[in-house]
Every structure is written in structure tokens, then in C-alpha cells.
Amino acid sequence: MQAKKLRGGYTTGACAAAGVKACILFLRGESCEKVELLALDGTLLSIPIKEICRSEQGVRAEVVKFSGDDPDITNGVSVFTEIRRLPKGSGISFRAGEGIGHVTKPGLSVPVGEPSINPGPRQLIRNVAEELLGKDAGLEVTISIPAGKELAKRTLNPVLGIEGGISVIGTTGVLRPMSEEGFKNSLVPQIDVAKASGFSSQVFVPGKIGERIALGFGLPGEAIVQTSNFIGFMLEKAAERDVKSVLLFGHPGKLAKVAAGVFYTHNRIGDARMEALAAYSAAEGLPASGIRRILASATTEEALEVIEAAGLAERVCKILAERASLRAQRYLFGKMDIGTVMVTLQGKLLGMDDRAKEIGEAMHWNITKD
């Protein structure tokens, strides 16, 4: 059976650029039920215009975002673009309307204080303006996504310092169904923001739970980076940016996999939790009956109960932390220092290596053992 070909779509930035084109055509008295737009990679997009009308400032167009088969959270939302003509030679200026955030932290592709309208969408809009109005075009463009304020809560915008709504994004204007690759890349700006805030040592956590526990131990929120399952990918991106050191901080359910050399930790891709726990517990003297119980465990917590009952939890978790740091440094060919801290879901310290202690103390944490 031939695999189904996934449908592509267009980005919020392309929606905004299409709206600008429709508004200019409307002012010329031309039809604008659908506009053609040349994406930055040369792809020709045909984008329907839902509605267009006069406004207090000029002309306003509505375009409904279409994401194709990519599970994008903005699929189906309305993107409104309003234009106001400015004197020739004034250039193109951008304003954030309802649901569009503003940048409040350095390190992103848009300066602090600017609307969170990324360089790709800005260039698309400039291209449209130049095509229809000439190189000396003067235009004020206001983009609104009314659903953006709520949608932003499901993104990394609050972590990145984008306040008030969602971002207008898109590298080229074309949205191809590569959700995993897109999601991975959406995590990377956290590293840039943390570094721009002065943190050459950073704290990598898998998600919100790890972040909450790290904050509870006094680690600075500005230095915390969420990796999801892409620990190896994020370590590589940090090394490319000359980050000095990283503290891997989280639950053994993720970090025991790193200790076993698994750097993409989704359970359908790599799951060596029980094997790693069993192997290092055996090395510390756990009897065969205990090893069998670990290997039969359904969860990491169940396996840890076996190790704790044998009085080996502290030793095993410290060794796992040391091993995770060692494997991570090997993964990066020694380009960066790594320390590892393992905690329970309730925030209890299980184990850490010496390098983790040094990194944490330099960040003035208050981590202690019970």
C-alpha cells in the first residue's frame, strides 16, 4: 500500500502577507477572494481571503490559517491584517494587534520591545509591498490573532519572554508536515534567551515538572531550558552556541536512559530504564531476585522501591548520574561540561555527581539531601 502523501499548508506569517496583498489590491479596486504569494523558498502559495473591509485606519483582511496535515495549534484560527498607507519612503512598520505578543527578553531574532513578528513574515510582507507599491512603499501593518492570548499558554512564549500573545512565525511561509522537526527547533531559542540573560551555564529539564522542582531548589528560572525528549539534540545546540556547562536535572525515568546512551528519550524510540537500573543495582550487590523484580517493574518508581528496600538507592542513583554525565560528554566529544541531578516527581533528591554539585553551587542553589 502506498503511503498517504501529507498535505502542506501555510504559516501565520504567510497568512499575514496574503492579507496585506489583499488589502492593497482592494484599495486598487481589484478582486481579492484569493491571492497568490511567492514564499521565501520560491514556492507559489494560493491563499483564500475570508473577508476584507474598510477600517478606521485603512483596510482590514481576514485569512484563516491552514496547516495541512501538520498538527499546528494555530490551524483554523483567523489572522487579521490591517494596513495604513504612510508617505512614500517611510518603509514598512509593524504593530501588534490583539493576541500578538511583544518581546521582553534579549536573545531572540526580534529585538526587545518589538512585536513578536519574526523576520520571515516581515520579509514576506516587505516583498508584497515592494511588488505592488514599489521600493519606496510606506505602510503600517497591524497583525492580530484574537485567539493568540490563549494559544500562547500552550507554547514556550512565556518562557522566552514573549508577553501578551502568540508569535507570527514561519521561516519561508510554507508549512510542511514535519511536526517533530519543527517542535525540536522551537525549543532552541530558550538556549539563546538564557545565554543572552548572562547564563553560560544552563539547566536542562525534560518539562514542566522538572522546571518546577529545579526552581524549588533555587536554580534561576532564566537559566532553565526545557528539552522534552530531545536531550541529545538540545545538548548539541548548546555546544554550537558555546554554552560552558549544562546541568541535566530531572527524574530517573528520563536520565537513566541518558546513562544508557539514549539521547532521544521517547519511550517508543528508546527505553532502557529498567535495564540501566538493573545493571547498576547488580553491580552494587543487589541479589538476582531484586534484579528480576526491577526488570519486571512497570514504572521507574516501582523499580526504585526495590533498590531503596535494599539500601542501595543513593549509591545507584549517584552512579547513574555520573554515567549520564559521562555519556553526555562523550556524545558531545568533550565540547561541554555536564553534571546530572536525579530527583523524584515529588522533588526529593536521589543522587548527583560531583560536577553537578559544582555547577549548582555556582548558581547558588539550595539543594540538600534529606
Task: Tell me which residue of 34, 28, 57 sits closest to 47, measured CA to CA.
Answer: 34
For residue 6, the tally of other CB atoms under 10 A from its CB is 12
Listing DSSP states for 273-306 in one string gives: HHHHHHHHHHHTT--HHHHHHHHT-SSHHHHHHH
| Residue in this structure with the C-alpha cell 514542566, named with its chain if needed | 208
- The burial class, CB within 10 Å (0-12 / 13-18 / 19+), for 104 is middle
Q: Given a cut of 90, is residue 150 above it in pLDDT?
A: yes
pLDDT at 279: 97
First to last CA, the chain: 58
pLDDT in tens, 70-117: 778 899 999 999 999 999 999 999 999 999 999 999 988 899 999 999
Please report which confidence band the pLDDT of residue 178 belongs to, taking 50, 70 and 90 as the band edges.
low
The answer, yes or no, to whether residue 128 has pLDDT greater than 80, is yes
Average pLDDT over residues 332-349: 94
Q: Backbone phi, then psi, for 280, in 5-degree steps?
A: -75, -30
Q: Tell me what pLDDT residue 6 has.
A: 63
Percent of the chain's residues with pLDDT above 90:
80
The pLDDT-based confidence of 5 (bands split at 50, 70, 90) is low
Ranges of each domain in the chain? 9-177, 182-362
Nearest to 11 by CA among 59, 94, 68: 68
Mean pLDDT, range 306-325, rounded to an integer: 96
Tell me the CATH architecture of domain 9-177: 2-Layer Sandwich (3.30)
pTM assigned to the model = 0.76
CA angle, corner 103, sides to 155 and 65, nearest 5? Answer: 50
Cell numbers linked to 312: 542501595
- The x, y and z cell numbers of residue 356, run together, are 553537578
Question: For the range 351-355, what are the long-range contacts, defined as Cβ-Cβ under 8 Å and sequence gap of 24 or more?
Answer: 351/313, 351/314, 351/316, 351/317, 351/318, 351/319, 351/320, 351/321, 352/318, 352/321, 353/318, 353/321, 353/322, 353/325, 355/245, 355/325
Question: How many other CB atoms sit within 10 Å of the CB of residue 113?
Answer: 8
> Looking at 48-52, 189-193, 329-333, 363-367, which range is the least confident one?
363-367
The answer to whether 7 and 1 have CB atoms below 8 angstroms apart is no
> Confidence class of residue 3 from pLDDT cuts 50, 70 and 90?
very low
Which residues, other chains included, contact 170 with Cβ-Cβ below 8 Å and sequence gap of 6+?
10, 11, 12, 13, 14, 118, 120, 121, 124
> pLDDT category, 1, cuts 50, 70, 90?
very low
Q: 62-76, 112-126, 314-328, 331-345: which range is least confident on average?
A: 62-76
Helices of type H across 112-227: 119-133, 148-151, 157-160, 179-187, 189-196, 208-216
Phi and psi of 110, rounded to 5°? Answer: -120, 135
Residue 91 · residue 148 · CB < 8 Å: no
Query: Which pLDDT band holds residue 370 (cuts at 50, 70, 90)?
Result: very low
